[in-house]
Amino acid sequence: MVVAPVLSFGLPAGRVNEAVIRGWIAELALMEPEDFGDREQIGLLRADEDLKAALCASQARVAAAFAASQHRAHDDTPVPDTTPKPANQPGNQSRSKTARRLADQRAARLADSIGAQIALARRESPTKGNQLLGLANILVTEMPHTFTALATGKLNEYRAVLLVRETAYLSLEDRKTVDTELAADTGTMAVMGYQQISAEAKKIAYRLDPLAMLARNTKAVNDRHVSLRPAPDAMVRLSALLPVAEGVGVYGSLSREADTLR
């Protein structure tokens, strides 16, 4: 008889569920850090950080599984017949276009529904749900080394997000190459800062596909914009996304003007 391995908290491996995680929350709320020495407190900080990363990986895996389950459930729903008919039969082309449009609308509604449910579960705005799902799908299906590093607590969530962001414009094959070169040895990124990780990912991406990098930069120029947000004490925060040269010039002019008004 094969006996399932048992985890330290008494459950068979793979049996962690919502109740178990809520039990962890309750236990952590009762922890008294003052009961531990300095060395143990530092150990707790590291363990907390590793657990936080592992939970981020769990969220990604659960979100991807939920989306896949929703798609399977809706794939079983009958859809309008879009089988091509002879063009000389009246109304066939119109019916085919209508069927395709209805199918596209249904797919869009399903995507919005999945994203909204994920956002609600994570206490985020509905518009953030699809972004979170996109990140989850990429980590789970396209960047196995990055995901494993996150799941084992060797890489925090923001470092994983940086790798996804800096490879977003690459082909799947090239993205996997960046994933392997940077995340297969998790000790490499453990000592790298955020800017260094971004720089290394960009360097590898440029080596793999320089044209894609140039196209990305061109698109970024086209995406330049200025935004205004309210701030406390009857102030506003003015932000601008600009090419480097223009941004430096604008910053210099605004800084000089602000200094004269103080």
Nearest to 116, CA basis, from 139, 108, 19: 108
> Is the whole-model pTM more than 0.85?
no
Q: How far is CA 247 from the centre of its chain?
A: 28
pLDDT of residue 90 exceeding 70: no
Domain residue extents for the chain: 154-223, 228-257
Q: Does position 84 have pLDDT exceeding 70, yes or no?
A: no
Residue 4: pLDDT band (50, 70, 90) is: very low
3-state class (DSSP) for residue 239:
strand
Give the C-alpha separation, 175 to 145, whole Å. Answer: 11
Query: Do the Cβ atoms of 36 and 46 come closer than 8 Å?
Result: no
pLDDT at 255: 79
What integer pLDDT is reported at residue 93 of this predicted model? 67
Distance CA 165, CA 175 (A): 11
pLDDT per position as a tens digit, 219-256: 766 777 788 788 887 788 888 777 776 777 777 777 77
Burial of 189 (0-12, 13-18, 19+ CB in 10 A): buried
Round to whole Å and give the CA distance between 260 and 262: 6
The position carrying tokens 């430096």 is 248
Distance between CA atoms of 173 and 181, rounded to whole angstroms? 12
Residue 56 has pLDDT above 50, yes or no: yes
State residue 112 phi and psi, 5-degree precision: -65, -40
Which of the four pLDDT bands, split at 50, 70 and 90, describes residue 8? very low
Spatial distance between the Cα atoms of 75 and 237, rounded to a whole number of angstroms: 46
Q: Which residue, chain included where needed, has tokens 């190459």?
A: 177
Query: What is the per-residue pLDDT for 67?
Result: 97
Alpha carbon distances (Å) from 216 to 167, 212, 247, 254: 11, 6, 18, 28
Instruction: State the DSSP H helix or E strand holding residue 241, giving kind and residue range, or none if neither.
Output: strand 235-241
Structure token pair of residue 22: 């809520």
* pLDDT over 50 (residue 160): yes
Q: What pLDDT is attached to residue 262?
A: 76
What is the pLDDT at residue 3? Answer: 42
Q: What is the mean pLDDT of residues 132-138?
A: 97
Would you state the pLDDT for residue 101? Answer: 86
